Structure 1
Amino acid sequence: MSPHRIALLFNANKVYDRQVIAGIGQYVTSTRVKWDLFMEEDFRSRTAGIRQWRGDGIIADFDDPMVAEAVSMLSMPVVAVGGSYADESQYPPGIPYVATDNRKLVQLAYQHLIEHGLQHFAFFGKPPAPGNRWAHEREMWFLNLTAEDGLEGIVYLGLETSADSWDRAQNEVVEWIRSLPKPIGIIAATDARARQLLQACIVADVPVPEQVAIVGIDNDPIVQTLSYIRPSSVIQSAEEMGRTAARLLHQMLHGGDYSATRMLVAPAGINVQASSRHRCISSPYVMRALHYIRQYACMGIKTEQVSSYVGVSRTLLGEHFKRELKKSVHQVILEHKLETARRMLADPEISLSDVAVRSGFISLQYMYAVFRREFNCTPKQYLEQLRSSGRTQPEQPLPDLGAAFQV
């Protein structure tokens, strides 16, 4: 029996599309279906010639209006993947649709910010465009959720970013952030938008998350890598969407009729990082100091550099830290370095010596000494414990290091 020829129309430069494709691959390998999968060599989604393509079925990203238009009228089985819509007319007629649940994505981020004690909320979306309908849907759910709680939901759409518009776009985001009531929680339509917010907060010298707490959507590892302050992000169940879409197409190829099927896939959870761990801090000195520490702790900064940035004496800053956090400045710097080291230990591609350097320790030997003192084990033993517990990342946040590092 010849394999079915299946086209995957996705842009794999986006983490969401890559994860959907991964889910399709998981279904194919786990079920051993005989599929010959077609994708462009550069993993871009191009529709030219798709109407003449002699295949058996298609799984396509219907958030892209050009793709949706190109395949909607084909006679072969098609499964659509995309964002969910409150308005049923937004779905393509006669085509099964596997959707990420936009309402639950926003609701999860919103509830997380509420749980951290915030009372002001904003949404950083995307400007109107045919390919941004999913972003408008998330904006709508944000406004519905805040209205239900009797709160004002602030929305900012910003500009589409490109090389020639980046400076203007970023300057406008900086001004918007400065104009907001604070403290405030901001939900970004994507992780790319969350990274733009984090960069703007650094330029505006606005402490994150004490004054602005940020949650993105996508859990994109590239954004995590590129950000000084790691962004919290809602995890879409994109791989599950891919598996579901592949299963539907498999059944359609064997005579199943799923033309009226609409399947909503809820988010998998939220990856909580530093950008949204808001806590009420009254001292502006502590806010500024924490903002600086999150950016530069792994570059070997000392208490003197932090106090110089804040603009007060080391003694006065230490008093404020003791009153607000019950910790010294040095202790907080070290906690951040240890958290960074623990996170990198889970990556087998990073050597122990690189972990030590990149997390700001003066040597591998010193990092070993600190781990023994604080965790009663070496970094290698800590990693083994992490793996034996079934986790791939350490629990957050770090335990209090106590008074061992008073300055």
Structure 2
Amino acid sequence: MAIPEVGVLIESDTAWGRDLLRGVASYADKFGPWNLLIEPHHSPATRTIPPAWRADGLIARISTPLQFQRLVSQGAPVVDVGDFYTEADETDSVITDFRAWAESAVDHFRSKGFESFAYFAPPSRDYSRRRGKAFAAVLEQQGLGCAQYRPGYRVGRQISPEEYRRRVTRWLTQLETPVAVLTSDAVQGKSLIEVGIQAGLSIPDDVAVLAGDSDDLLCEICTPPLSSIEVASHRIGFEAAKRLAAMLRGAPASAEPALIEPLRIYSRQSTDVLAIDDPMIVRALRFMQQNACRGIGVAEVLEAVPVTRRQLERLFKTKLGRLPAEELRRLRLERGRQLLVETELSIDQVAEAAGYAGATQFGTAFRNRYGATPLQFRRGAQPDGQGGVANGGNNIADNFDR
């Protein structure tokens, strides 16, 4: 039996692309053999099959109608890992779950006390509008607005660096500050911070910036260092290869895209601020952040902050949209989720480090919030874990129980 020739049309000059390629290679190594055909240096707009290829199947980030037509006309199965053509019948699709992506961003910003929000994404073939729409929809559900950057020109139009800075500066300086800005990716996050500083804005005091994906180098060399959402690009690549393997065996393309939840938020200095003008809430939040994982309750917070329980609950509900007890629980569970992804600690050890009395209590709270047990979450966060991914919908349990 001939070894399948699998074409992978993904850029390797971004952290997202490189990690996704590793995911594809991981699947091929475990369940192949496959002969991977890589043409990594094409731009998204021109990425097509090289003439010398005779690919049996393709994994690609499709970004233009012409590219889409050229790829599907080859007659080989195609799995798309871009977010432009997720409803196409001719291809299968594996993408980030942008609803969960947006919810994590809103949750991060709301925990800082922000009430003004914006989304920054200049027209590009690297991403579709679904990211900004998801962010705005989550905010709207919470009764909040979102100012979106709309420069008034289409994808593909070239403008000078001076014109770009002028347009972005005008938009930024018209926002109500302090404002929390989610950007489409790390490239745009770094660019926005640079323009904001040139315009005399303080990052993060006036403008807090969170990048929609992670690129460790870009985020770390940014001034200040850039907070980011760590999307599961390795797992996207692994799942895309898994779906392509099924299609190579004769299975039809799935009716719904596979949705892969982001792993976590990597918090750096660009969002390290409390955008709250009430000193009592700031004092309470700082105390919670420092002590939540010691197992404290609201009673201990009230000992550190001279207000009544009723006053504290009213202030938290008004400024953060949740009660003090809910904020303590959120902080513990976020710490637990971080440890599940980043360490090999046992579930009992994670529970203790997150401030829970035991694994049972931690597991119940974790499943109530995330829809999966800690063990299911840990397996699902691994690119070649036993968990699956959701085929549409927002229930994280689907990601692990298939």
Provide the rounded CA distance (Å) in 1 between the counterparts of 2:165 and 2:132: 20
Secondary structure, aligned partner of 1:82: coil
Provide the rounded CA distance (Å) in 2 between the counterparts of 1:19 and 1:259: 24
Counterpart position of 2:38: 39
| Cα offsets for 1:224-278 (capped at 9, x unmatched) | 2431211111111111010001111222223333443521111111111000112
Tell me, yes or no, if structure 1 residue 114 matches structure 2 residue 114: no
What letter corresponds to residue 57 of structure 2 in structure 1?
A: G
What letter corresponds to residue 174 of structure 2 in structure 1?
A: S
Q: Is the 8 A contact 2:210 2:226 kept in 1?
A: yes
Q: Is the 8 A contact 1:126 1:136 kept in 2?
A: no
Structure 1 residue ranges without an equivalent (≥5): 284-387, 392-407
Provide the rounded CA distance (Å) in 2 between the counterparts of 1:40 and 1:5: 13
Q: In 2 relative to 1, CA 144–47 (structure 1 residues): closer, same or farther, beyond 3 Å?
A: closer
Per chain length, whose mean CA-contact separation is higher, i.e. which structure has more relative contact order (CA < 8 Å, sep 6+)? 2
Counterpart position of 1:74: 74
| Cα offsets for 1:160-182 (capped at 9, x unmatched) | 79996112212332232222211
What letter corresponds to residue 57 of structure 1 in structure 2?
A: G
What letter corresponds to residue 184 of structure 2 in structure 1?
A: A
Query: 1:213: Cα distance to partner?
Result: 0.9
Give the alignment partner of residue 257 of structure 1, picking from 230, 233, 252.
252
What letter corresponds to residue 203 of structure 2 in structure 1?
A: V
* Percent of matched pairs sharing the same residue: 24
**What pairs up with 1:228-247 in 2 under 5 angstroms?**
228-247=223-242
Counterpart position of 1:16: 16
Secondary structure, aligned partner of 2:128: helix
Query: 1:8: Cα distance to partner?
Result: 0.6
What letter corresponds to residue 36 of structure 1 in structure 2?
A: N
What letter corresponds to residue 9 of structure 2 in structure 1?
A: L
Q: Which has the larger radius of gyration?
A: 1
Secondary structure, aligned partner of 1:264: strand
Counterpart position of 2:143: 150
Q: Is the 8 A contact 1:51 1:70 kept in 2?
A: no
Tell me, yes or no, if structure 1 residue 7 matches structure 2 residue 38: no
Q: Which moved more, 1:250-259 or 1:156-165?
A: 156-165
Q: Is the 8 A contact 2:16 2:214 kept in 1?
A: no
| Cα offsets for 1:84-116 (capped at 9, x unmatched) | 78xxxx521132211211222222112100110
Aligned length: 279
Q: Is the 8 A contact 1:13 1:44 kept in 2?
A: no
Provide the rounded CA distance (Å) in 1 between the counterparts of 2:75 and 2:343: 50
**What pairs up with 1:25-174 in 2 under 5 angstroms?**
25-31=25-31, 33-40=32-39, 42=41, 47=47, 53-83=53-83, 91-127=87-123, 131=125, 134-158=127-151, 165-174=160-169
**What pairs up with 1:289-304 in 2 under 5 angstroms?**
none
Secondary structure, aligned partner of 1:83: coil
State the TM-score, normalized to the length of structure 1: 0.62
Secondary structure, aligned partner of 2:114: coil
| Cα offsets for 1:313-335 (capped at 9, x unmatched) | xxxxxxxxxxxxxxxxxxxxxxx
Provide the rounded CA distance (Å) in 1 between the counterparts of 2:24 and 2:43: 16
Query: 1:142: Cα distance to partner?
Result: 2.2
| Cα offsets for 1:60-107 (capped at 9, x unmatched) | 11235443221123322222212278xxxx521132211211222222
State the TM-score, normalized to the length of structure 2: 0.62
Q: Is the 8 A contact 2:89 2:253 kept in 1?
A: no
Provide the rounded CA distance (Å) in 2 between the counterparts of 1:65 and 1:221: 32
Give the alignment partner of residue 182 of structure 1, picking from 173, 177, 180.
177
CA RMSD of aligned residues (A): 3.0
Provide the rounded CA distance (Å) in 1 between the counterparts of 2:170 and 2:34: 52
Provide the rounded CA distance (Å) in 1 between the counterparts of 2:48 and 2:206: 48
Query: 1:21: Cα distance to partner?
Result: 1.0
Counterpart position of 1:217: 212
What letter corresponds to residue 239 of structure 2 in structure 1?
A: T
